[in-house]
Chain A
Amino acid sequence: MTDEMSEKLIGAPPELSVTNFVASLNHTLELAYPAVVVVGEVAECKVWRDFVFFKLKDDEAMIECFMMAFKMVAPLEDGMKIKVMAQPKMREANGRLSLNVAKYQPVGEGSIKKALEILKRKLEKEGLFRQELKRPLPDVISRIAVISSVESAGYKDFVKILGERAGGLEVEVINTSVQGLKAPEEIIQALKVFNERADADVVVIVRGGGSKDDLAAFNDEELARAVRASRLPVLVGVGHEIDESIVDLVTDVRASTPTHAAQVLTPRDKREQIEYVQALVVAMGYRMERSVREVPERIRQVLEQNIDEVSRGLLGVQALLAELDPEKVLARGYAILSGRVREGESLKITTKQHIISTRIDEVKPR
């Protein structure tokens, strides 16, 4: 096919100015790559006015990147491996293709660790981890606001344990990403929604375990600040016991896993409550049984007390009777006269030692 023939078939290519060509190219790029995620190592990172410029490279290639400085939500240094979400764009002024970065996140254990340490120092200096900022959860929790990915295993564990341990709770859930570049922003938005509603007692953010990369969203500075600024107290149950993120450090209460978060929210579970009430009834039964056993003992005590009193009374009577014994009277020198008191009659006089007979000479009134 000759050039003339192909020109006839497809029509003549449009003649464009450079500006229009670049604009058209950018439009095509926008349609073809509304958002691309590119992973590479940062090089030549510099901040100029309101912009951050850096290069993203690997062993074979390199591309320039730029972003607005306010989007720099995590530490960014040369040598760090990061993942960017960006849109490719050809810059009109110099004809260079670059990535207009919307979001980025460190990837790989080394970069994540480095970024985490830098951010930790920064927020610690600002006092965001201070213990006195941490609020306790309410004593009685009835309404729980949950932020999680509802399809995740972590969320399912959380709901299962909550159901096993408690009943009658009102749980509201906002489904968000819990990993990846979009996760921090979605979680922040969900936090905002719950904070605007007045009815939850606590907000819970849950996510199961994963690699350092999977959990990197929870080292996002903006998310950490949003958690700290939340009007409602926040409980975070992300990852495993050994994973400690920036969000773990700023939150009011940290649970080591989603399961642990459910346990924290329900300090006494249903089975324990049932055991408790059963134990109370058993204790009441014991108390009654003890009381019944004590009855004969009390009766014995009462009888003993009564016998003692009667005995004491009898002793008094005995003493009195002893005092009235005629022998005792005679012993004190008295005598007993017996017989009729009439002149000429005989009388019998009984003393301690003798019985004497005598006759009455005279009787006269005293």
Chain B
Amino acid sequence: MNKERESIAEKTKKLNQLMAWFDGDDFSLEEAVDKYAEATKLASEIEGLLKSLKNKITKIDTNVAKRLEEE
């Protein structure tokens, strides 16, 4: 997995953990403010990464047809 995809996966995992905290019994309004700010930042970073990610396409020059002709 490339670095950007890894980063997206990690950030999404963190975001899911934050969501679990918001849904859980440990939730408190005092702490929620900071955690919400963290979540917003993560979501924005994930969105940015996803929008900028491109696939890398490489053509392998095996020249299959030529190789078969030689065989």
Residues of A bordering B, CB below 8 Å: 140, 142, 150, 159, 162-163, 166-177, 182, 185-186, 189-190, 193, 270, 273-274, 277-278, 280-281, 283-285, 287-288, 291-292, 295
Contact = CB atoms under 8 A, between A and B. Distances in A.
A167 B53 contact: yes
Contacts of A172: 57-60
Contact of A288 (B23, B36, B59, B60): B36
Contact of B64 (A166, A189, A281): A189
Contacts of B52: 167
A186 B67 CA distance: 9
Interface in B44-64: 46-47, 50-60, 62, 64
B50 A174 contact: no
Contacts of B51: 270, 274
A291 B27 contact: yes
Contacts of A283: 19, 22
Nearest to B67: A189
A185 B68 contact: yes
Given A277-B12, A281-B39, A140 B54 contact: no
B21 to A, nearest CB: 9
A190 B35 CA distance: 50
B39 A284 contact: yes
A274 B55 contact: no
Given A281-B40, A283-B19, A190 B62 contact: yes
Contacts of A186: 64-65, 68
A45 to B, nearest CB: 26
Contact of A168 (B32, B53, B57, B67): B53
Interface string B6-31: 00100010011011001100010100
B39 A280 contact: yes
A273 B13 CA distance: 12
Given A174-B60, A193-B60, 5 more contacts: A168-B4, A168-B56, A182-B68, A274-B47, A284-B39
Nearest to A291: B29
Contacts of B59: 150, 172-175
Contact of A284 (B19, B46, B55, B57): B19
B55 A281 contact: no
Nearest to A201: B1
Contact of B23 (A159, A182, A185, A287): A287
